[in-house]
Amino acid sequence: MREHKKSLRRNRSGQLLIVAALAIALLISSTTVYVYEVSQEPVTDESTQLSLYLPGLKQSTRNTVTSSLANISKGGETAALETNLAELSDNMLSLDFGICNLSYTSLNESPYDSGIVLSWNRTDASVSGAYVNFTLNIYGTNSKISTQYSVNVTTTLFLASIAVNTDTVKHVNLTCNVSNEDKPAPAESFVVYCEESGTWTKIESSAVLQMDYGNGTYSLDFTVPLESTQFLLQMNDIRGIQVQAKCNIA
Residues 186 and 162 both lie in one domain: yes
Q: Domain boundary residue among 134, 155, 176? A: 155
pLDDT confidence of residue 16: 46
Binning pLDDT at 50, 70 and 90, where does residue 8 land?
A: very low
Beta bridge partners of 151: 132
Residues 92 and 197 both lie in one domain: no
pLDDT in tens, 44-97: 566 777 788 889 899 999 999 999 999 999 999 999 999 999 999 998 887 766
Query: How many domains, the chain?
Result: 2
Q: Domain boundary residue among 130, 155, 180? A: 155
Mean pLDDT across the chain = 84
pLDDT confidence of residue 145: 87
Task: For residue 200, report the phi and psi dihedrals to the nearest 5 degrees.
Answer: -95, 130
Binning pLDDT at 50, 70 and 90, where does residue 170 land?
A: very high
Residues 127 and 201 both lie in one domain: no
pLDDT confidence of residue 23: 52
Residues 96 and 71 both lie in one domain: yes
Question: Structure pTM?
Answer: 0.82
- CATH number of the domain enclosing 233: 2.60.40
Residues 114 and 176 both lie in one domain: no
Q: In whole angstroms, what is the distance from residue 133 CA to residue 155 CA?
A: 18
Residues 65 and 114 both lie in one domain: yes
Q: In whole angstroms, what is the distance from residue 156 CA to residue 185 CA?
A: 9
Residues 182 and 212 both lie in one domain: yes
pLDDT confidence of residue 46: 66
71-99 burial, b for 16+ CB within 10 Å, e for fewer?
bbbbbbebebbbbbbebbbebbeebebbe
36-40, 166-170, 218-222, 231-235, range with the lowest pLDDT = 36-40
Residues 228 and 112 both lie in one domain: no
Q: Residue 40, Cβ neighbours under 10 Å: how many?
A: 7
Percent of the chain with pLDDT over 70: 80
Q: Which residue range forms the structural domain that includes residue 224?
A: 157-248
Residues 13 and 29 both lie in one domain: yes
pLDDT in tens, 84-139: 999 999 988 877 667 889 999 999 999 999 999 999 977 679 999 999 999 999 88
Binning pLDDT at 50, 70 and 90, where does residue 182 land?
A: very high
Q: Domain boundary residue among 102, 123, 155? A: 155
Residues 172 and 162 both lie in one domain: yes
Residues 7 and 106 both lie in one domain: yes
pLDDT confidence of residue 7: 39
- Give the largest CA-CA distance in the chain: 78
